[in-house]
Copies of this chain bind each other. A is one copy, B any other.
Amino acid sequence: MAQASKSAVVLLSGGLDSATVLAIARSAGYACYALSFAYGQRHGVELGAAEQVARALGAVKHKTLTLDLSAIGGSALTDPRIDVPEHPTVGIPATYVPARNTVFLAVALGWAEVLGAQEIFIGVNAVDYSGYPDCRPEFIAGFERLANIATRAGVEGREFSIHAPLIQLSKADIIRRGTALGVNYALTVSCYQADESGRACGRCDSCRLRLAGFRDAGIPDPTRYR
């Protein structure tokens, strides 16, 4: 199990945060199995970005699973009838996708168990974030507890760890960290409503956080805006 215990599943969206997480996991010596989801998001550009990021950062394998969360709707990201907010909102914004990180971590857990991996990485962030309940430290800790009850591996004592290395970093710190690790952020797409060629709107929550992050880090922003 020596080799298997150095494998990790890394959730990869094609955005800035998860690309940084993949670089962190690689730099820690893990053989990384990157996992993306075609979940009915507004655009598929980020899945192309995830593919490029996985290759650039040397993931052993990259899988994109289809799970159409637009069938249940309820979010600006999965229901075209709900607008993406372009101004700061109070409370949890319309881009919240109900139970998304629970679903993604659950599938990552399944893949990790099949691989014999005990480490799962996710790029959630509780500082410069959008107020999503499933980006908080208590959610990550809760999922880790569940993982070790839910699986054969957990029951047999091969415990899982859920790593969220960005959770207490500012967006600027994330960008500094990734830049030091050689992440090419030009490959990543953060915008909630990027166009078909991957150009960002510059106005949605995700664009505003990213813009401010590069500015605060004092690092040139490679994002292509339309």
Contacts and interface: CB of A to CB of B under 8 A. Distances in A.
Interface of A: 63, 65-69, 71-74, 92, 96-103, 105-107, 109-111, 113-114, 133-134, 136, 138-139, 142-143, 145-147, 149-152, 154-155
Contacts of A97: 110
- Residue of A72, A136, A142, A155 with most partner-chain B CB within 10 A: A72
Contact of A110 (B99, B146, B147): B99
A154 B133 contact: yes
Contacts of A98: 109-111, 113-114, 151-152
Q: Tell me whether chain A's interface is mostly helix, strand or loop, or mixed.
A: helix
Given A102-B146, A143-B146, A134 B151 contact: yes
Given A74-B113, A103-B107, 4 more contacts: A69-B110, A92-B155, A98-B109, A133-B154
15 contacts: A63-B71, A63-B72, A65-B67, A67-B107, A73-B114, A74-B110, A74-B113, A98-B110, A102-B109, A102-B150, A133-B155, A134-B150, A139-B150, A142-B149, A143-B150
Given A107-B103, A110-B72, A138 B149 contact: yes
A109 B113 contact: no
